[in-house]
Structure 1
Amino acid sequence: YYQSGKYMYDLAIKANDAGDYFPIWGTCLGFELLTSLTANKNVLQKTDTDNITLPLLFQKGFQSSRLLMNATEKLINDMASEPITQNNHMFSLLVQDYNNTSVLNSFYRLISTSIGIDQKEFVSTFEAYKYPFYGVQWHPEKNIFLWRTDQAIDHDFHAVEITQYMANFFVNEARKNFHHYSSTDEEAHEVIENAVRTFYPDFRIGEIFYFNYTGDYFVDKYG
Structure 2
Amino acid sequence: MGSPLPHLLLLLLPLMVAALGSSSTTAGVIRLPSGRSCAAAAQDPAVYDRPVVGIVSHPGDGAAGRISNGTATSYIASSYVKFVESAGARVVPLIYNEPEERILEKLSLVNGVLFTGGSVKNGPYFETIKKVFQYVLDRNDAGIPFPLFAQCLGFELVCMIVSKDNNILESFSAINQASTLQFPSYSSLEGSVFERFDPDLINKLRTSCLVMQNHRYGISPKTLRENVALSSFFKILTTSPDENGEVYVSTVQAHKYPITCTQWHPEVCWP
Normalised TM-score (structure 2): 0.52
Unaligned runs of 5+ in 2: 1-124
Bigger share in helix: 1
Picking from 247, 250, 254, the partner of 1:121 is 247
Counterparts of 1:66 and 1:46, CA distance in 2 = 27
Question: Structure 1 65/120 Cα, relative in aligned 2: closer, same or farther at 3 Å?
Answer: farther
Corresponding residue for residue 200 of structure 1: none
| Offset at residue 66 of structure 1 (A) | 2.0
**Which one-letter code corresponds to 1:57 in the other structure?**
Q
Corresponding residue for residue 68 of structure 1: 194
CA contact (8 A) 1:62 1:68 kept: no
Match of 2:189, SS state, is helix
RMSD, aligned CA: 1.1
| Offset at residue 59 of structure 1 (A) | 1.4
**Which one-letter code corresponds to 1:25 in the other structure?**
F
Identity of aligned residues (%): 28
**Which one-letter code corresponds to 1:12 in the other structure?**
V
Corresponding residue for residue 141 of structure 2: 17
Counterparts of 1:62 and 1:128, CA distance in 2 = 13
Counterparts of 1:62 and 1:53, CA distance in 2 = 24
Normalised TM-score (structure 1): 0.63
Picking from 135, 143, 150, the partner of 1:26 is 150
Counterparts of 2:184 and 2:256, CA distance in 1 = 19
1:102 aligns with 2:228: yes
Corresponding residue for residue 37 of structure 1: 161
1:131 aligns with 2:257: yes
1:85 aligns with 2:211: yes
Cα deviation 1:112-156 (Å, max 9, x = unaligned): 00111122110000100100000000011111xxxxxxxxxx23x
Match of 1:124, SS state, is strand
| Offset at residue 44 of structure 1 (A) | 0.5
Question: Structure 1 93/65 Cα, relative in aligned 2: closer, same or farther at 3 Å?
Answer: farther
CA contact (8 A) 1:126 1:135 kept: yes
Cα deviation 1:173-205 (Å, max 9, x = unaligned): xxxxxxxxxxxxxxxxxxxxxxxxxxxxxxxxx
Unaligned runs of 5+ in 1: 144-153, 156-223
Counterparts of 1:73 and 1:119, CA distance in 2 = 25
Counterparts of 1:65 and 1:86, CA distance in 2 = 24
Counterparts of 2:231 and 2:257, CA distance in 1 = 14
| Offset at residue 81 of structure 1 (A) | 1.1
Match of 2:173, SS state, is strand
Counterparts of 2:235 and 2:222, CA distance in 1 = 14
Counterparts of 1:33 and 1:93, CA distance in 2 = 11
CA contact (8 A) 1:62 1:112 kept: no
1:46 aligns with 2:175: no
CA contact (8 A) 1:65 1:111 kept: no
Corresponding residue for residue 177 of structure 1: none
| Offset at residue 71 of structure 1 (A) | 1.4
